[in-house]
Structure 1
Amino acid sequence: MSTFRRHHAVRLLTAALIVTLSLEAGALAATAAPASVPLTAAAGSTATMPASLGPKDAKEVEAFLDSFFAQASVKAKANGAAVSIVKDGKVLASRGYGVADKASGAKVDPEKTVFRIASVSKVFTATAVMQLVEQGKISLQDNIEKYLGGYKVVNPFGKPVTIEMLLTHTTGFEVREPNADNILSDPAQKPRTLEEQIKLVFPPVVREPGTSYMYDNFASSLQGYIVEKASGEPFESYMERHIFKPLGMTSTSFIQPKELEERLASAYDAEGKLIPLYYLSPRAVPEGSMLSTAADMSRFMNAFLTGGKAPDGTVILTPASLQAMSVYRSSIHKQVPDTTYGFEAPFVPGGTNGQHVITKSGDLDGYSSLVWLLPDQKTGVFVTYNANGDGIRDELYKAFMDHYYSGKKDVYGEAGFKPQAAAELSKFEGIYVDLRVGVLLTHVKVAGDGTLAVKDAIGGKQTLKQVGDSLFVDEKGVPMAFKLAADGQVSYAKYNNPTSYMAKLPTPAGYADVPADHPYAEPILALQTLGQWDESSAFNPTASVSRAEFVHAVMKRFALKPSANPSAFADTAGSPYVAEIQGAAELGLVTGNNKKQFEPNRPIKREEAAVIVSRLLELTGYKEPGDPAIKLAPDTGKWAVDAIRRTIQLGLHGPEVTQQNGIYQFHAKRALNRQELAAILYSLLLA
């Protein structure tokens, strides 16, 4: 349940488009007056006199945290937060900031205030798996079918999915994400059992197991189910008996008991509005339903970092298992790791400062968390807050690492490496599609000797320099790594999205009427590769697009669901796209005329297309109006001005839009043609 991280005007996620959260939460005030720890001018940056080799003094650590959370930029991002820092088995700080509930003004208490820690839960589920491995009840190399009661996984490859692959998220499963059915608003609603949920959504294997990394909620859910089967105990009971109780984590649970619910921090959305209390289905979700406090998390961190023993002497994990969970088991490149058993690589590029760091983040509606451990330093940090977004956790991570481990900076590449000639880099060229977020594309071209030109929806256009075999770094210091198959061809890449590889798409078949130098060749051929167009020897790039065809293209590309309801329009009954038109109408993307007609076969005007695209952006939460400084030609209808400004501002068009003497010619009244439709769809994917 971890959110896909990016900082961009528009982000396209899963089945629909979702925009970056604005995080306009209320004030965040420290529970105690902040001590004076000077920070540099940049928000969340390092102190002027960084400590060396980790935190040591509790008062200094508390002062560091108080100073960080006193910043106005941090206060604006959440109403309340809790944080704990441990080292060498001791709790150096356990602090609460701001309010757990705006209505009551109740302050955050790190011992008592409960937060949903979301996907940080996965660390605990993996811990349970490793306990059962120690007991011989599970083997890391077991075929998962051993625990599925006769269920046969749909797997066309001659290689089974193993327990180890579940832990490293390298199963090759098709994407399965939690959805609205997993959120319940009424406590009287009966949740599914874990077994029912597993059987309902069990995915097929669509990539060779063990060859690619994709953050996989289902894999963690299946881990919990296997814990049930191997232990003979319900998952939530197992976690309570074998992890929480021995560690003294009395304010932690995978279910939502009344006693913890009463102490749960209220959740707030991006606009600071209260999110009503909700429940999860199944009741215990191995990948993300855990409730906990900052103080309880310090108990787990200390046990994990100091030999695996609980205060009562119970061995939670042996040193061998702790080591197995602390080192990276999946990496696309030795300098670009993916996962351990239960943890993932830091999301802040180049932010380890030469230290070995393992992390796990988590997000649910109204809550965000992050835990990071430095096993070699026996140091751990946990932060949680009642809002969504990376701002606080990423800024605290960077501030902490720069303050306490500032002696060495991460450097990507190999000493003395000689970049390859452009001809040798040609194997990297092509279109890549994210394994988890299928609407996220990355386009790679050779820019010259040792350089690639890359563009995607996260980083925009970047020039990357080669610093090692199959390893490049962009202008911002973000690495891009490639994986080669046995035949030497590029199979996967990883860049900007730390939670998934991208698959290189096959070279498109092309069209007889779209030569390589065609001005719209890139979007047309990219979309052909994605299956947007039916295979044909001709594309007919200048043929007009009907209103129905435009709606169909948008609904198909972004996996928006057709409607099963009767059409609201009097003239769409004979259209093959009637269900998609009705679906678009229910989403607010299209309307009819005053005669309740949609005119499905009429060529769509460019200004009409711009308005539909603008509504699509609004549907995702994008609220910025078009830039009034963009001057349009006088043929633009007043009703379409803002939408056209938006499309120009975000570059959601092709080379047909021109500017002369400060005036943009959008050709608003002209019919949209197929090549221009391709440009719109492609630019949305790279927006």
Structure 2
Amino acid sequence: MNENKKGTRHRYRILAAVLALSIAGEAYAQILPSSYALASGNQPAAAAVKAALTNGPQDAKELEAFLDAFFAQDAVKQKAGAAAISVVRDGKVLVSKGYGVVDQTSKAQVDDSQTIFRVASVSKVFTVAAAMQLVEQGKISLQDNVEKYLDGYKIKNPFGKPVTVEQLLTHTTGFESTQPSDASYVFDPSVKPVSLKDSIFDAFPSVIREPGSSYMYDNFATRLLGYIVQQASGESFGSYIEEHITKPLGMTSSSFTLNAELAERMAISYDPGNNAIPSYNLSPREWPEGSMISTASDMALFMKAFLNGGRSADGKAILSPESVKAMSTYHVSIHPEFPDMTYGFESPIEPSQTHSEKVISKGGDIIGFSSLLWMLPDRKTGVFLTYNANSDLRNDLFTAFMDHYYDNGKKPYEQAGFKPQSKAELAKFEGLYSDLRVKFLTKVEATGDGTLTVSDVSSRNQLKQVGDLLFVDEAGKPLAFKKDANGRITDLKYLNLFSYAVKLQEVQGSYPDIAVDHPYASYIFALKSLAILKDDPAKPFEPQKSVTRGAFVQTFNALWGIQPSANPSSFTDIDNSEYRGDIQAAHESGLLLGMGDGLFEPERPIRREEAALVAFRLLAGNEIRLPVTTAILVPGTSDWAVEAVSSAVSWKLHGPEVTQSNGMVDFGSQRDLNKQELAAFLFTMLLPAE
């Protein structure tokens, strides 16, 4: 854990994908095709063309010119070296085209029909389509308790409501957040992937919220849905998709399994240092939530069929019109103007840029690749973009495309005649809200009549009220609140489009030895309300008891949704430890290294500088916070921990135990971390940066 800090700038795979979704940050810079614009010389003609464009793309040549100009920009080229796009309308492919080169060595051009990309979570659309086929056949019911398909397995669910198949489709199961570990990515071809079944039952999450009560994007829910497809159909998941969806549509370059022939055609991705990312497989080999590979031209075939009531051009039906409608209709919305999920699709990637058009969307991120599929069902129009990088290029294209083709002058979210509430009335929204996926905290303050200030880990924004529970920020991005039957504010949804954030409620008197005025009470009670602390509230908390290295890793992992690893141990002294799986998972993620000589010492108390290093690797390694080395530390911090401890001080990851005198900060680097300090350390990691 403490032997060196090499590689702390590495973006750890364990959280990269979920953080990309959960930390939306500031408004994305808008990239517009500056070299393609309406001619200004003939104003009446230009106005006529502009009016025609508000009905969407119609002319293939005009669309291709727009896309060529967009992808010719240097800013776009810097975000991805290889990209492919297809656009369909009214049953026709208007454009299907590649941009850039497959790899930097051969310089071969991207081919829309031959170049393979990982489409990541766009896979979920196909998994849901498979489930809807089985619903049509009566083999699955949307209201089925999912335990019906689990061969006797009972889900840990303290609520009176079961988890249903429909809730898997809408990501409203109430499951605790789980993220794939590094072991899910297989770079060594000799490693045998686990089965889909084992991957589910080895780490089945508990239900921690009432099923159906809140929305949280959930990869496990779709993996479980894929397993139910397998159970109900009697076919392996991948075979089912091939036989009943991709093959009937003629999608010959699409699969949930990466075979040798498809791997040869895959675009190469590069890391920030411009090194080629090695080819990898997945464990299990088929992820219902994200292992699909495809081409732009194949995806055009799917979009055409979907927008044609589920029927391909040659008459093959993969879905009924009723299923297509169900997949195109939002079933969960925190606010009518700020939707969450259909069956398989989610809210637009830039909700404020839809120009009041109905848009269903599905984005995807996996190591080295990002994609976006969006459709306008009422316009019979669909767009698919995929590229060999993890960047916000898709947001740029979505904004440019919607502005170019659907700019009708309408302003979203404005409600005519609405009178904003007073500052006193807005006080009901104030408080801290914890994201359900990654427990970062959002702070809401009423700062004036009809105005809120909202701070999170990445930004601080001013918002104005435009509806009873609806606000917009300076960039036009919406924030919506949810209230319960008693009118109490319970949740919000803002920059993270993929999860609600639940309002923290005061938890007092949880432990007999922690009074309300205890100096660490706020930290301890907050972590208890977040279900991070597992201590029995009826028993003493023992706030000054030292925390072992193993116990620290387990609690740290719980905070970030890192699941225990079932892989063989990397350390010789953890096999008999109750924390073995947590230690192994954190090691696989690069968060800890051990003590050397194959040892970890799980039962030794963890020093404060060791804890700081683990936090630094996660926060700086995932670019959540920038390293800060300006704090002047009193002597005693180990050389390998100076940057981490200095950053922890600057980030204020501590409670009142850290003192300052004569311009020097005493972090207590060599002291053992105790339980009350652990509570302060973990809770302050989640707070908005000042």
| TM-score with structure 2 setting the length | 0.79
Partner of 2:526: 526
Shift of 1:381: 0.8
Q: 1:194 aligns with which of 176, 196, 199?
A: 196
Change (3 A) 1:400 1:537: same
For 2:550 and 2:191, how far apart are their aligned partners in 1?
36
Letter in 2 for 1:132: L
CA deviations on 1:115-142 (whole Å, 9 max, x unpaired) are: 1111101111111222222233333223
**Aligned residue among 377, 381, 385 for 2:387:** 385
Q: How many residues are treated as equivalent by the alignment?
A: 641
Question: What pairs up with 1:587-602 in 2 under 5 angstroms?
Answer: 587=591
Change (3 A) 1:637 1:38: farther
TM-superposed CA distance for 1:519, in Å, is 9.7
Aligned match of 1:264: 266
Residue aligning to 1:331: 333
Going from structure 1 to structure 2, the CA distance change for 1:621 and 1:588 (only over 3 Å counts) comes to farther
Shift of 1:383: 0.6
Q: Is the 8 A contact 1:217 1:287 kept in 2?
A: yes
Deviation at 1:486, TM superposition (A): 2.6
Q: Kindly state the Cα deviation for residue 375 of structure 1 after the two structures are TM-superposed.
A: 0.8
Is 2:435 the partner of 1:434? yes
Closer, same or farther: CA 665–405 of 1 in aligned 2, 3 Å: farther
1:75-154 pair list within 5 angstroms: 75-154=77-156
- Structure 1 residues 55 and 183 mapped into 2: Cα distance closer, same or farther (>3 Å)? same
Q: Which residue of 2 aligns with 1:405?
A: 406
> In the TM superposition, what is the alpha-carbon distance from 1:344 to its structure 2 partner?
0.5
Map 1:325-404; keep pairs closer than 5 Å.
325-389=327-391, 391-404=392-405
Separation in 1, partners of 2:15, 2:591:
14
Query: In the alignment, is the contact (CA less than 8 A) between 1:635 and 1:668 conserved in 2?
Result: no
8 Å contact kept, 2:466–2:472: yes
User: For residues 1-20 of structure 1, what are the structure 2 equivalents within 5 Å?
Assistant: none
> How many angstroms apart in 2 are the aligned matches of 1:581 and 1:341?
37
Say yes or no: does 1:509 pair with 2:508. Answer: yes
Question: In structure 2, what is the equivalent of residue 482 of structure 1?
Answer: 481
What is the percentage of aligned positions where both structures have the same residue? 53
Asked if the contact 2:12–2:618 (Cα under 8 Å) also holds between the matched residues in 1, the reply is no
What amino acid is the match of 2:243?
Answer: R
Higher mean displacement: 443-452 or 529-538: 529-538
1:59 aligns to what? 61
Q: 1:589 to 1:19 in 2, by over 3 A?
A: farther
Q: Which AA in structure 1 matches 2:143?
A: Q
Q: Deviations over 1:353-395 (max 9, x none)?
A: 1110000011121111110001111111111111222x21111
Tell me how far 1:667 sits from its aligned partner: 5.0
Distance 2:38 2:651 in 1: 36
Matched letter for residue 134 of structure 2: L
Aligned equivalents of 1:115, 1:314: Cα separation in 2: 26
Q: Deviations over 1:375-428 (max 9, x none)?
A: 111111111111222x21111111111111111344225322233344444443
Structure 1 residues 431 and 406, CA gap change in structure 2 (3 angstroms): same
CA contact (8 A) 2:478 2:494 kept: yes
Task: Provide the rounded CA distance (Å) in 2 between the counterparts of 1:384 and 1:154.
Answer: 38
C-alpha distance after superposition, 1:19-69 (max 9, x if no partner): 7799xxxxxxxxxxx9952499xxxxxx99863221111111111111111
TM-fit CA distance, 1:582: 11
Q: C-alpha distance in 2, partners of 1:141/1:413? A: 36
Report the counterpart of residue 72 of structure 1 in structure 2.
Answer: 74
CA contact (8 A) 1:658 1:664 kept: no
1:580-634 Cα shifts (integer Å, max 9, x gaps)? 9999999458989xxx999978996xx888667545545546795537xx58599
Residues 648 and 475 of structure 1: CA distance in aligned 2, closer, same or farther (over 3 Å):
farther
Deviations 1:209-234 (A, max 9, x none): 22111112222122222223333332
Contact 1:432–1:442 (CA under 8 A) maintained in structure 2: yes
Alpha-carbon distance change, 463 to 533 in structure 1, aligned in 2, over 3 angstroms: farther
Rounded Cα–Cα distance in structure 2 between residues aligned with 1:415 and 1:466? 12
CA distance in 1: counterparts of 2:230 and 2:495, whole angstroms = 36
Q: Which amino acid in structure 1 is aligned with residue 358 of structure 2?
A: H
Q: 1:522 to 1:57 in 2, by over 3 A?
A: farther
410-419 or 334-343: which moved more? 410-419
Kindly indicate whether the alpha-carbon contact (under 8 Å) linking 1:17 and 1:620 is maintained by their aligned counterparts in 2. no
TM-superposed deviation, 1:451: 3.6
- CA–CA distance in structure 1, aligned partners of residues 186 and 611 of structure 2: 37
- The answer (yes or no) to whether the contact 2:120–2:371 under 8 Å persists in 1 is yes
1:156 matched to 2:158: yes
The amino acid of 1:97's aligned partner reads Y
TM-score normalised by the chain length of structure 1: 0.79
1:83 positional shift: 0.8
Match of 1:452 in 2: 452
CA drift at 1:330: 0.7
The one-letter amino acid paired with 1:484 is K
Deviation at 1:236, TM superposition (A): 2.0
SS, match of residue 161 in structure 2: coil
SS at 1:436's partner residue? coil
Q: Residues 526, 623 of structure 1: CA spacing in aligned structure 2 closer, same or farther, 3 A cutoff?
A: closer
User: Partner letter of residue 369 of structure 1?
Assistant: S
Deviation of the 1:299 alpha carbon: 1.0
Map of 1:174 onto structure 2: 176
Relative to structure 1, is the Cα distance of residues 427 and 401 closer, same or farther in structure 2, using a 3 angstrom cutoff? same
1:492 is matched with 491
Supply the RMSD in Å over aligned alpha carbons: 4.5
Whole-angstrom distance in 2 between the partners of 1:300 and 1:479: 31
Seen in structure 2, the aligned counterparts of structure 1 residues 659 and 395 have a Cα distance that, compared at 3 Å, is farther
Aligned to 2:352, the other structure's residue is in SS state coil
Cα distance, 1:328 vs. partner? 0.5
Q: Given that residues 607 and 669 in structure 2 are in contact (C-alpha distance below 8 angstroms), is that contact kept between their aligned partners in structure 1?
A: no
Which region of structure 1 is more displaced relative to structure 2, 667-676 or 398-407?
Answer: 667-676
Structure with the greater relative contact order (CA < 8 A, sep ≥ 6): 1 or 2? 2
Paired position in structure 1 for 2:206: 204
Contact 1:633–1:665 (CA under 8 A) maintained in structure 2: yes
Q: Distance in 1 between matches of 2:670 and 2:192?
A: 52
Instruction: List per-residue Cα deviations over 1:226-275 (Å, max 9, x = no partner).
Output: 22333333222222222212211111112223322221222333333222
| Alpha-carbon contact 1:515-1:521 (below 8 Å) kept | yes
Is the contact between residue 548 and residue 602 of structure 2 (CA under 8 Å) also seen in structure 1?
no
> What one-letter code is carried by the residue in structure 2 that aligns with 1:109?
D
CA distance in 2, matches of 1:307, 1:224: 23
Residue in 2 that maps onto 1:31: none
Is the 8 Å Cα contact of residues 567 and 579 (structure 1) preserved in structure 2? no
Secondary structure class of the residue paired with 1:250: coil
Distance change (3 Å), C-alpha of 1:170 and 1:495: same
For the 8 Å contact 2:553–2:586, the answer to whether it is kept is no
State the Cα distance separating 1:309 from its structure 2 match: 1.7
The CA distance in 1 between the partners of 2:631 and 2:647, in whole Å, is 12
Partner of 2:43: none
Determine the C-alpha separation between the residues in 1 that align with 2:71 and 2:523. Answer: 45
Q: Secondary structure at the match of 2:65?
A: helix
- State which drifts further: 496-505 or 612-621: 612-621
Cα distance in 1, alignment partners of residues 87 and 171 from structure 2 = 28
Whether the 8 Å contact between 2:557 and 2:586 is mirrored in structure 1 is no
How far residue 114 of structure 1 moved from its aligned partner, in angstroms, is 0.9
1:435 alignment partner AA? L
Query: Aligned equivalents of 1:154 and 1:163: distance in 2?
Result: 16
Deviation digits for residues 177-211 of structure 1 (CA, Å, limit 9, x no counterpart): 33334333344544333333333333332222221
Q: CA deviation at 1:338?
A: 0.5
Provide the C-alpha distance between the structure 2 equivalents of 1:584 and 1:315, rounded to a whole number of angstroms.
Answer: 46
CA contact 1:11–1:20 (8 Å) conserved in 2: no
Match of 1:183 among 162, 185, 189: 185
SS state of the match for residue 92, structure 1?
strand
The residue type equivalent to 2:107 in the other structure is: G
Distance 1:142 1:513, change over 3 A: closer
Check conservation: 1:331, 1:338, Cα contact below 8 A: yes
